[in-house]
Amino acid sequence: FGMETALRRAIENGMMRLTYQPICDLATGRIVAFESLARWTDEDGRAHSPNDFIPVAEESGLIVPLGRWAIDEAATTLAGWDTRFGGDCGVKLAVNLSAIQLQRDRIPILVERALSANGLDGRRFTLELTESALVTDPDRIAAIMHALKGLGTTIAMDDFGTGYSNLAYLQKLPIDVLKIDRSFITGMLADRDKVSIVRAILSLASALGMKTTAEGIETNELAQTLAALGCTYGQGYSFARPLEADAAYTYLLATN
Ligand code: G
Ligand code: G
Ligand code: MN
Ligand code: NA
Protein backbone atom coordinates (compact mmCIF):
# COMPACT_ATOMS: atom_id res chain seq x y z
CA PHE A 1 0.00 0.00 0.00
CA GLY A 2 2.86 2.34 0.85
CA MET A 3 4.56 1.65 -2.41
CA GLU A 4 1.33 2.12 -4.36
CA THR A 5 0.79 5.63 -2.97
CA ALA A 6 4.40 6.62 -3.59
CA LEU A 7 4.29 5.16 -7.10
CA ARG A 8 1.07 7.03 -7.94
CA ARG A 9 2.66 10.28 -6.80
CA ALA A 10 5.84 9.54 -8.77
CA ILE A 11 3.86 8.97 -11.98
CA GLU A 12 1.77 12.12 -11.42
CA ASN A 13 4.83 14.24 -10.64
CA GLY A 14 6.94 13.06 -13.55
CA MET A 15 9.45 11.24 -11.36
CA MET A 16 9.66 8.14 -13.55
CA ARG A 17 12.32 7.90 -16.21
CA LEU A 18 13.41 5.52 -18.91
CA THR A 19 16.87 4.08 -19.43
CA TYR A 20 17.97 2.61 -22.73
CA GLN A 21 19.99 -0.55 -23.32
CA PRO A 22 21.46 -1.26 -26.76
CA ILE A 23 20.54 -4.37 -28.75
CA CYS A 24 23.30 -5.25 -31.23
CA ASP A 25 23.52 -7.25 -34.42
CA LEU A 26 25.85 -10.08 -33.32
CA ALA A 27 27.35 -10.48 -36.81
CA THR A 28 28.38 -6.82 -37.22
CA GLY A 29 28.34 -5.34 -33.71
CA ARG A 30 26.11 -2.49 -34.91
CA ILE A 31 23.34 -1.23 -32.65
CA VAL A 32 19.94 -2.01 -34.17
CA ALA A 33 17.72 -0.96 -31.27
CA PHE A 34 17.53 0.22 -27.69
CA GLU A 35 15.21 -1.39 -25.13
CA SER A 36 13.57 1.18 -22.87
CA LEU A 37 13.57 0.16 -19.20
CA ALA A 38 11.61 2.10 -16.57
CA ARG A 39 13.42 3.51 -13.54
CA TRP A 40 12.05 5.08 -10.38
CA THR A 41 14.05 6.86 -7.70
CA ASP A 42 11.72 7.90 -4.87
CA GLU A 43 11.71 11.12 -2.82
CA ASP A 44 14.11 9.58 -0.29
CA GLY A 45 16.58 8.77 -3.06
CA ARG A 46 15.82 5.06 -3.01
CA ALA A 47 15.96 3.34 -6.41
CA HIS A 48 13.20 0.78 -6.92
CA SER A 49 13.55 -2.06 -9.39
CA PRO A 50 10.83 -2.55 -12.01
CA ASN A 51 10.75 -6.14 -10.77
CA ASP A 52 9.20 -4.64 -7.61
CA PHE A 53 7.12 -1.71 -8.89
CA ILE A 54 5.72 -3.19 -12.12
CA PRO A 55 3.77 -5.87 -10.17
CA VAL A 56 2.46 -3.14 -7.82
CA ALA A 57 1.48 -1.05 -10.84
CA GLU A 58 -0.32 -4.03 -12.34
CA GLU A 59 -2.28 -4.87 -9.19
CA SER A 60 -3.27 -1.25 -8.58
CA GLY A 61 -4.14 -0.30 -12.15
CA LEU A 62 -1.29 2.23 -12.20
CA ILE A 63 0.17 0.22 -15.08
CA VAL A 64 -2.27 2.11 -17.34
CA PRO A 65 -0.88 5.64 -16.75
CA LEU A 66 2.65 4.27 -16.33
CA GLY A 67 2.40 2.35 -19.60
CA ARG A 68 0.98 5.36 -21.45
CA TRP A 69 3.78 7.52 -20.13
CA ALA A 70 6.42 4.96 -21.20
CA ILE A 71 5.09 4.76 -24.78
CA ASP A 72 5.04 8.58 -25.10
CA GLU A 73 8.43 9.02 -23.43
CA ALA A 74 10.08 6.39 -25.66
CA ALA A 75 8.67 8.04 -28.80
CA THR A 76 9.74 11.50 -27.62
CA THR A 77 13.27 10.30 -26.88
CA LEU A 78 13.64 8.60 -30.26
CA ALA A 79 12.36 11.69 -32.09
CA GLY A 80 14.86 13.76 -30.07
CA TRP A 81 17.72 11.51 -31.21
CA ASP A 82 16.56 11.85 -34.82
CA THR A 83 16.54 15.63 -34.48
CA ARG A 84 20.08 15.68 -33.11
CA PHE A 85 21.18 13.23 -35.81
CA GLY A 86 19.58 15.30 -38.56
CA GLY A 87 17.37 12.44 -39.81
CA ASP A 88 16.55 8.82 -38.96
CA CYS A 89 19.27 7.85 -36.47
CA GLY A 90 18.97 4.24 -37.62
CA VAL A 91 17.77 2.42 -34.52
CA LYS A 92 14.45 1.13 -33.28
CA LEU A 93 13.13 1.70 -29.79
CA ALA A 94 11.68 -1.27 -27.88
CA VAL A 95 8.93 -0.79 -25.29
CA ASN A 96 7.86 -3.48 -22.81
CA LEU A 97 4.15 -4.22 -22.53
CA SER A 98 2.86 -6.27 -19.63
CA ALA A 99 0.00 -8.73 -20.00
CA ILE A 100 -2.22 -6.70 -17.66
CA GLN A 101 -1.56 -3.54 -19.63
CA LEU A 102 -2.65 -5.28 -22.84
CA GLN A 103 -5.88 -6.34 -21.14
CA ARG A 104 -6.67 -2.97 -19.61
CA ASP A 105 -5.72 -0.41 -22.21
CA ARG A 106 -6.07 0.17 -25.95
CA ILE A 107 -2.40 -0.18 -26.78
CA PRO A 108 -2.45 0.02 -30.62
CA ILE A 109 -4.21 3.39 -30.55
CA LEU A 110 -1.76 4.74 -27.96
CA VAL A 111 1.19 3.56 -30.01
CA GLU A 112 -0.24 5.05 -33.20
CA ARG A 113 -0.81 8.41 -31.47
CA ALA A 114 2.67 8.47 -29.91
CA LEU A 115 4.28 7.70 -33.27
CA SER A 116 2.33 10.31 -35.21
CA ALA A 117 2.67 12.98 -32.52
CA ASN A 118 6.44 12.54 -32.84
CA GLY A 119 6.60 12.15 -36.62
CA LEU A 120 7.88 8.58 -36.37
CA ASP A 121 7.33 5.73 -38.79
CA GLY A 122 5.88 2.60 -37.16
CA ARG A 123 8.94 0.62 -38.22
CA ARG A 124 10.92 2.51 -35.60
CA PHE A 125 9.11 0.79 -32.70
CA THR A 126 9.36 -2.69 -31.25
CA LEU A 127 6.84 -3.95 -28.70
CA GLU A 128 8.06 -6.60 -26.29
CA LEU A 129 5.34 -8.92 -25.00
CA THR A 130 5.76 -11.84 -22.62
CA GLU A 131 4.38 -15.31 -23.10
CA SER A 132 2.04 -14.75 -20.18
CA ALA A 133 0.15 -12.24 -22.36
CA LEU A 134 -0.97 -15.15 -24.53
CA VAL A 135 -2.48 -17.16 -21.70
CA THR A 136 -5.55 -15.24 -20.57
CA ASP A 137 -7.18 -14.15 -23.80
CA PRO A 138 -5.18 -15.33 -26.81
CA ASP A 139 -7.72 -14.13 -29.38
CA ARG A 140 -7.70 -10.59 -28.02
CA ILE A 141 -3.90 -10.56 -27.86
CA ALA A 142 -3.72 -11.85 -31.43
CA ALA A 143 -5.96 -8.98 -32.56
CA ILE A 144 -3.76 -6.47 -30.72
CA MET A 145 -0.63 -7.94 -32.26
CA HIS A 146 -2.11 -7.72 -35.75
CA ALA A 147 -3.14 -4.11 -35.13
CA LEU A 148 0.41 -3.30 -33.99
CA LYS A 149 1.85 -5.04 -37.05
CA GLY A 150 -0.51 -2.93 -39.15
CA LEU A 151 1.31 0.13 -37.83
CA GLY A 152 4.59 -1.34 -39.07
CA THR A 153 6.04 -2.14 -35.66
CA THR A 154 8.18 -5.14 -34.76
CA ILE A 155 6.85 -7.64 -32.21
CA ALA A 156 9.24 -9.44 -29.88
CA MET A 157 8.42 -12.26 -27.48
CA ASP A 158 10.26 -11.37 -24.26
CA ASP A 159 11.78 -13.83 -21.74
CA PHE A 160 11.18 -16.65 -24.20
CA GLY A 161 11.43 -20.12 -22.72
CA THR A 162 10.28 -19.24 -19.21
CA GLY A 163 6.52 -19.02 -19.73
CA TYR A 164 3.82 -21.15 -21.23
CA SER A 165 5.25 -21.71 -24.68
CA ASN A 166 2.18 -22.71 -26.60
CA LEU A 167 3.98 -23.55 -29.80
CA ALA A 168 0.76 -23.60 -31.83
CA TYR A 169 0.17 -19.94 -31.01
CA LEU A 170 3.75 -19.03 -31.77
CA GLN A 171 3.24 -20.10 -35.34
CA LYS A 172 -0.09 -18.31 -35.75
CA LEU A 173 0.91 -14.98 -34.24
CA PRO A 174 2.83 -12.23 -36.06
CA ILE A 175 5.97 -12.52 -33.92
CA ASP A 176 9.18 -11.18 -35.47
CA VAL A 177 11.74 -11.87 -32.76
CA LEU A 178 12.17 -14.35 -29.90
CA LYS A 179 14.16 -12.94 -26.98
CA ILE A 180 15.91 -15.87 -25.31
CA ASP A 181 15.61 -15.44 -21.58
CA ARG A 182 18.75 -14.47 -19.71
CA SER A 183 18.52 -17.59 -17.49
CA PHE A 184 19.56 -19.74 -20.48
CA ILE A 185 22.40 -17.42 -21.47
CA THR A 186 24.02 -16.83 -18.06
CA GLY A 187 26.59 -19.59 -17.49
CA MET A 188 25.81 -21.17 -20.85
CA LEU A 189 29.47 -21.76 -21.75
CA ALA A 190 29.87 -24.14 -18.79
CA ASP A 191 26.50 -25.86 -19.13
CA ARG A 192 25.78 -28.21 -22.03
CA ASP A 193 22.06 -28.35 -21.19
CA LYS A 194 21.76 -24.59 -21.60
CA VAL A 195 23.57 -24.76 -24.93
CA SER A 196 21.10 -27.44 -26.04
CA ILE A 197 18.13 -25.29 -25.06
CA VAL A 198 19.56 -22.23 -26.81
CA ARG A 199 20.25 -24.27 -29.94
CA ALA A 200 16.67 -25.60 -29.86
CA ILE A 201 15.21 -22.09 -29.56
CA LEU A 202 17.43 -20.83 -32.40
CA SER A 203 16.33 -23.71 -34.58
CA LEU A 204 12.65 -23.17 -33.71
CA ALA A 205 12.92 -19.47 -34.54
CA SER A 206 14.64 -20.21 -37.81
CA ALA A 207 11.95 -22.74 -38.77
CA LEU A 208 9.26 -20.16 -38.02
CA GLY A 209 11.07 -17.37 -39.86
CA MET A 210 11.76 -15.38 -36.71
CA LYS A 211 14.88 -13.56 -35.60
CA THR A 212 16.44 -14.06 -32.17
CA THR A 213 17.89 -11.87 -29.41
CA ALA A 214 19.99 -13.31 -26.59
CA GLU A 215 19.50 -11.40 -23.32
CA GLY A 216 22.06 -11.06 -20.54
CA ILE A 217 25.28 -11.36 -22.57
CA GLU A 218 27.97 -10.41 -20.08
CA THR A 219 31.17 -11.46 -21.91
CA ASN A 220 32.68 -11.14 -25.40
CA GLU A 221 33.15 -14.90 -25.50
CA LEU A 222 29.40 -15.41 -25.03
CA ALA A 223 28.66 -12.88 -27.76
CA GLN A 224 31.01 -14.69 -30.15
CA THR A 225 29.60 -18.12 -29.31
CA LEU A 226 26.01 -16.94 -29.79
CA ALA A 227 26.95 -15.32 -33.10
CA ALA A 228 28.51 -18.60 -34.23
CA LEU A 229 25.35 -20.47 -33.23
CA GLY A 230 23.36 -18.14 -35.49
CA CYS A 231 21.65 -15.92 -32.94
CA THR A 232 20.71 -12.66 -34.67
CA TYR A 233 20.97 -10.02 -31.93
CA GLY A 234 22.47 -9.67 -28.48
CA GLN A 235 21.86 -7.52 -25.42
CA GLY A 236 23.71 -7.35 -22.14
CA TYR A 237 26.38 -5.74 -20.01
CA SER A 238 29.08 -6.88 -22.47
CA PHE A 239 27.71 -4.22 -24.86
CA ALA A 240 26.33 -1.72 -22.34
CA ARG A 241 24.19 -1.40 -19.26
CA PRO A 242 20.89 0.45 -19.50
CA LEU A 243 21.91 4.09 -20.13
CA GLU A 244 20.30 7.47 -19.60
CA ALA A 245 18.91 8.94 -22.84
CA ASP A 246 21.86 11.28 -23.48
CA ALA A 247 24.45 8.60 -22.75
CA ALA A 248 22.60 6.17 -25.01
CA TYR A 249 22.70 8.66 -27.88
CA THR A 250 26.41 9.28 -27.35
CA TYR A 251 27.03 5.52 -27.26
CA LEU A 252 25.09 5.15 -30.52
CA LEU A 253 27.21 7.78 -32.28
CA ALA A 254 30.42 6.18 -30.99
CA THR A 255 29.42 2.65 -32.04
CA ASN A 256 27.58 2.79 -35.37
O1 G B 1 15.88 -3.40 -16.48
P2 G B 1 15.42 -4.24 -15.34
O3 G B 1 16.19 -5.42 -14.96
O4 G B 1 15.39 -3.37 -14.19
O5 G B 1 13.89 -4.67 -15.66
C6 G B 1 13.27 -5.67 -14.91
C7 G B 1 11.98 -6.09 -15.54
O8 G B 1 11.05 -5.02 -15.59
C9 G B 1 12.15 -6.60 -16.95
O10 G B 1 11.44 -7.82 -17.05
C11 G B 1 11.47 -5.58 -17.80
O12 G B 1 10.83 -6.17 -18.92
C13 G B 1 10.46 -4.95 -16.86
N14 G B 1 10.24 -3.57 -17.26
C15 G B 1 11.14 -2.58 -17.29
N16 G B 1 10.61 -1.44 -17.77
C17 G B 1 9.32 -1.72 -18.05
C18 G B 1 8.22 -0.95 -18.58
O19 G B 1 8.34 0.23 -18.94
N20 G B 1 7.03 -1.59 -18.72
C21 G B 1 6.86 -2.89 -18.39
N22 G B 1 5.65 -3.44 -18.55
N23 G B 1 7.85 -3.64 -17.90
C24 G B 1 9.08 -3.07 -17.73
O1 G C 1 12.98 -8.95 -18.88
P2 G C 1 13.59 -7.95 -19.78
O3 G C 1 14.44 -8.61 -20.81
O4 G C 1 12.61 -6.98 -20.36
O5 G C 1 14.51 -7.05 -18.89
C6 G C 1 15.83 -6.91 -19.08
C7 G C 1 16.44 -6.89 -17.71
O8 G C 1 17.70 -7.50 -17.73
C9 G C 1 16.62 -5.50 -17.22
O10 G C 1 16.35 -5.49 -15.88
C11 G C 1 18.11 -5.25 -17.43
O12 G C 1 18.61 -4.30 -16.52
C13 G C 1 18.68 -6.62 -17.18
N14 G C 1 19.93 -6.90 -17.89
C15 G C 1 20.28 -6.43 -19.09
N16 G C 1 21.50 -6.92 -19.45
C17 G C 1 21.90 -7.71 -18.46
C18 G C 1 23.08 -8.50 -18.25
O19 G C 1 23.99 -8.59 -19.08
N20 G C 1 23.15 -9.21 -17.11
C21 G C 1 22.17 -9.15 -16.16
N22 G C 1 22.35 -9.86 -15.05
N23 G C 1 21.05 -8.42 -16.31
C24 G C 1 20.90 -7.71 -17.46
MN1 MN D 1 12.13 -6.74 -22.33
NA1 NA E 1 11.55 -9.21 -19.79
Is residue 50 one of the residues assigned to a domain? no
**Within a domain: residue 5?**
no
Contact yes or no for 242/24 (Cβ under 8 A): no
Q: Is 236 in the pocket of ligand 2 (CB under 6 A)?
A: yes
Q: Where are the alpha helices (DSSP H) in 13-137?
A: 50-60, 63-85, 99-104, 107-117, 133-136
**Res. 165: pLDDT tops 80:** no
68-93 pLDDT per residue, tens: 999 999 999 999 999 999 999 999 99
Q: What rounded mean pLDDT belongs to the chain?
A: 96
Integer distance in angstroms from the first to the last C-alpha of the chain? 45
What are the helix and strand counts (H, E) for the chain? Answer: 12, 9
Going by the DSSP 8-state scheme, the letter that residue 216 receives in this structure is -
Which residue's CA is the nearest one to ligand 1's atom 19?
38
Range of the domain at 95: 17-37+63-255
CB of residue 159 inside a 6 A radius of ligand 2: yes
User: Count of domains in the chain?
Assistant: 1
Q: Which ligand is nearest to the CA of 97?
A: 1
Position 166 scores a pLDDT of 75
Q: Which of 72, 96, 101 to mutate to test the pocket of ligand 1 (most atoms within 8 A of CB)?
A: 96
Q: Look at residue 133 in the predicted model and tell me its pLDDT.
A: 84
Of 33-42, 121-130, 133-142, give the lowest mean pLDDT range.
Answer: 133-142
The distance of Cα 138 from the centroid of its chain, to the nearest Å, equals: 20
Residue 97 in this model has a pLDDT that exceeds 70 = yes
Q: What is the ipTM score, two decimals?
A: 0.96
Residue 7 belongs to a domain: no
For residue 12, is it within any domain? Answer: no
What percentage of the chain carries pLDDT values higher than 70?
A: 99
**Ordered DSSP codes for 131-179:** TTHHHH-HHHHHHHHHHHHHTT-EEEEEEETSS---HHHHHHS---EEE
| Confidence (pLDDT) at 1 | 61
Q: Is 161 in the pocket of ligand 2 (CB under 6 A)?
A: no
Strands 16-25 and 211-214: unpaired
Question: How high is the pLDDT of residue 170?
Answer: 87
> Is 8 domain-assigned?
no
Q: Is residue 2 part of a domain?
A: no
DSSP 245: H
Q: Please give the model's pTM, rounded to 2 decimal places.
A: 0.97
Q: Are 18 and 77 in contact (CB under 8 A)?
A: yes
pLDDT for the residue 149 = 98
Beta bridge partners of 40: 16, 48
Tell me the best of 21, 96, 101, 217 to mutate to test the pocket of ligand 2, counting ligand atoms within 8 Å of each CB and taking the most.
Answer: 21
For residue 218 and ligand 2, the question of a CB distance below 6 A is answered with: yes
| CA–centroid distance, residue 128 to ligand 3 (Å) | 6
CATH of the domain at 139: 3.20.20.450
Residue 57 lies in a domain: no
- 97 domain-assigned: yes
Statement: residue 116 has pLDDT above 70: yes
